[in-house]
Amino acid sequence: MFSQTTNSLTMARRIGFVVLSVLFGVAAVIVIVGRGPWYDEFYSLYVVRAGVPVSALYPAWLRDNHPPLFYALAWVWSRLISGTGLAATVEGMRAINGVFLAVLVGAFVRMARTDAWFARIVWYDCLALAAMFPTLDQIDQLRSYFLSFVLAAIVLPLLARDICGRAGQRTMLGVGVILAVGFSVHVLTTVIVGSLVAATVVHHALVRRWGDAVRLIVIAAFALVPFLISMAVQFSTIAANTRVFWIPGGFNAGRWAIETEVHDAVYSNPVLLLVALGGLVMILIGLRRRDPDARMTAGVIITFAGALVLAVIVLMAAHLYRPMLVSRYLVALDPVIALMLALGAHAATRRLGARVVILLDVLILMGAGLAIHANCLETMAKPSWDGTGMAIARIVRACPQATVHPDLGWNTLALGMPPRENRAVVPFSYRFVGHRFGFALSSGMSATCPNLFWTEHVANMHPTAQAVIDRLRRAGYPIVSGRMERIGIGWILVTPAVR
């Protein structure tokens, strides 16, 4: 009877994995293909563009505020898909995140097959990760954030095995490789992953496993070498780039970014949260009864909770010195919360009957499905350059002699922001979107069709149509009237034909 109930639970979870994979896979394709690009993605496209040798591109990577690893990977990806024509599209380049997702799935499958402990919690970990907003919101962006998310998700169960004292040589080799990559993707990810390692070392010291502590310190030290080399080259540039920065400073701004990321992660799947809270109660009861499984689970949760606290302290201190905290930079926090929820859910269900567990699993899966649907809608609704691009394309199709003028006078913030590549990326972005929607950028004025003046990437500017017209007249354009269409974080000034 026990074997039959165990088999039924195993089969139910296999079916659940298939359903979850289909739900998330379909949503990921929708957002990768359907979400419009935004400025930072154009920056990534520009610094890995085709037709330019890597010797000319690499200096631009070093002038950015983060290690160059992601740009190097994106450059390799663009060459791998160059024969398909997808390298010239933002959607094709975003597909690199599908590779990172495949690495995550492969790593989870491998760890579940070789570690019975992880095999018991991987189902809940996947449910938690799939429901979190950054999973979809970052998989569709040509930026390094999804890679940060994936690396944190992989390193956590490896460190958990080490905390539980079951990490062999292969596990620690994997830890070293993942740490070397995780330290070299994004500066804030380096802090978060480093805090996970530091907390694990502290755990080893508290339980007097000095050999394990020293081993992890040595592995982390070697893994830090690539990051330290890049920082030796980049640090002075990063310090200069961020002396005057776009991110709001101060304690409240930093607190709000962290609070928002953590809150949204914790409440991403309310059903899973309720089950996990029940699991925490079961863990406390188990600790009173000296249950070794409860003790091991509590050790992992406390260690990773300590890592979160350490990361928040370090990040907030750094933010007060130089503003750096926005939600998308903090995506490596989400997998930590996901694993803690998974541990709680497993603790709540491990002693329940198979039918009850299957019912709870179905409810959690439904919660994940609803979260994926909501996250997909929210991600697709985010403003992008496609909004103004499509509006311009409609006007040009209706009157092919219409002219389109990028009005860069309002882009002074982006144009003047270091690194200096921004001065080229801003006009590149306008050209890219014009080509994307099939209209050309102009310098003359039309006597038969509307003349359009187009501005994008100006979220905090809300000038009136007259203010835009007055500025254009001072620049020499013979216009006297026009109507302004505000779309997303940009606008189009539509002026009559010049007679």
* 190 and 73 assigned to the same domain: yes
Residues 361, 410, single domain; the answer is no
Q: What are phi and psi of 476, to 5 degrees?
A: 105, 5
Q: How many CA atoms lie within 13 A of 376 on its CB side?
A: 19
Using alpha carbons only, give the angle 349, 353, 358 rounded to the nearest 5 degrees: 70
Q: Which residues pair with 439 in a beta bridge?
A: none
- Residues 370 and 392 reside in one and the same domain: no
Domain containing residue 136: 2-380
The predicted-structure confidence for 295-354, as pLDDT tens digits, reads as follows 999 999 999 999 999 999 999 999 999 899 999 999 999 999 999 999 999 999 988 888
Q: For residue 135, which amino acid is it?
A: T
Q: What is the pLDDT of residues 83-111, one digit of tens each?
A: 888 888 999 999 999 999 999 999 999 99
Q: Which residues pair with 491 in a beta bridge?
A: 455, 486
Give the 3-state secondary structure of residue 460: coil
Contacts of 28 (CB under 8 A, 6+ apart): 98, 101, 136, 139, 140
347 and 422 assigned to the same domain: no
Span 65-83, mean pLDDT?
93
Q: What value does the CA radius of gyration of the chain take, rounded to a whole number of Å?
A: 25
pLDDT at 5 over 60: no
Backbone angles phi, psi at 231, to 5 degrees: -70, -30
* Residues 279 and 342 both lie in one domain: yes
Q: Is 99 in contact with 270 (CB distance < 8 Å)?
A: no
Is 185 strand, coil or helix?
coil
Say how far apart CA 297 and CA 346 lie, in whole Å.
10
Do 432 and 42 contact (CB within 8 A), yes or no?
yes
| Residue 86 neighbours by CB under 8 Å, 6+ apart | 92, 93, 95
Give yes or no for a contact between 185 and 69, defined as CB atoms under 8 angstroms apart: yes
Regarding whether 454 and 315 lie in a shared domain, the answer is no
Three-state DSSP state, 493: strand
Omega prior to 335 cis, within 30 of 0:
no
Give the residue-averaged pLDDT of 41-51. Answer: 93
Q: Residue 131 has which token pair? A: 């429901």
Looking at the structure, do residues 343 and 415 belong to the same domain, yes or no? no
Q: Half-sphere exposure of 435 toward its Cβ, with a 13 Å CA cutoff?
A: 9
Q: Which of the listed residues 380, 405, 436 is the one where a domain comes to its end?
A: 380
> Do residues 168 and 32 share a domain?
yes
Distance CA 37, CA 46 (A): 13
Structure tokens at 342: 């998974």
| Predicted pLDDT of residue 216 | 95
- The pLDDT of residue 499 is 75
Q: Does residue 1 surpass a pLDDT of 50?
A: no
CA–CA–CA angle 57, 59, 64 (5° rounding): 100
What is the average pLDDT across 357-376?
96
Three-state DSSP at 452 gives strand
| CA gap 406, 475 in Å, rounded | 13
Q: Which residue has the tokens 């010797």?
A: 55
Distance (Å, whole) CA 124 – CA 122: 6
Q: Which of 299, 294, 398 is nearest to 351 (CA)?
A: 294
Q: How many domains does the chain have?
A: 2
The DSSP call for residue 328 is: G
- Quick check: 245 pLDDT over 90? no
**Same domain? 368 vs 426:** no
Amino acid at 317: A
Of 238-242, 292-296, 398-402, 406-410, the range with the lowest mean pLDDT is 238-242
pLDDT of 6 reads 65
> What is the pLDDT, as a whole number, of residue 83?
81
First to last CA, the chain: 89
Q: How many CA atoms lie within 13 A of 274 on its CB side?
A: 8
Q: Rounded distance, CA 120 to CA 13, Å? A: 11
291 and 427 fall within a common domain: no
Average pLDDT over residues 140-159: 96
Q: Which of 380, 401, 420 is the last residue of a domain?
A: 380
- The reply to whether 161 and 277 lie within a common domain is yes
> C-alpha distances in angstroms, 32 versus 44, 60, 224, 290, 313?
16, 26, 32, 48, 34
Side-chain half-sphere of 350: how many Cα atoms within 13 Å?
A: 21
Which phi and psi angles does 451 have, rounded to 5°? Answer: -110, 125
* Mean pLDDT on 37-46: 96
The residue ranking higher by pLDDT, 22 or 322, is 22
Q: Which of 380, 404, 439 is the last residue of a domain?
A: 380
pLDDT band at 247 (very low <50, low <70, confident <90, very high): confident
Mean pLDDT of the chain: 93
pLDDT of residue 3: 47
| 365 and 409 assigned to the same domain | no
The pLDDT tens digits of the residues spanning 430-475 come to 999 999 999 999 888 999 999 999 999 998 899 999 999 999 999 9
Q: What are the counts of helices (DSSP H) followed by strands (DSSP E) for the chain?
A: 22, 4
- Which pLDDT does position 283 carry in this prediction? 95
Q: What per-residue confidence (pLDDT) applies to 277? A: 96
pLDDT over 70 (residue 2): no
Mean per-residue pLDDT for 209-219? 94
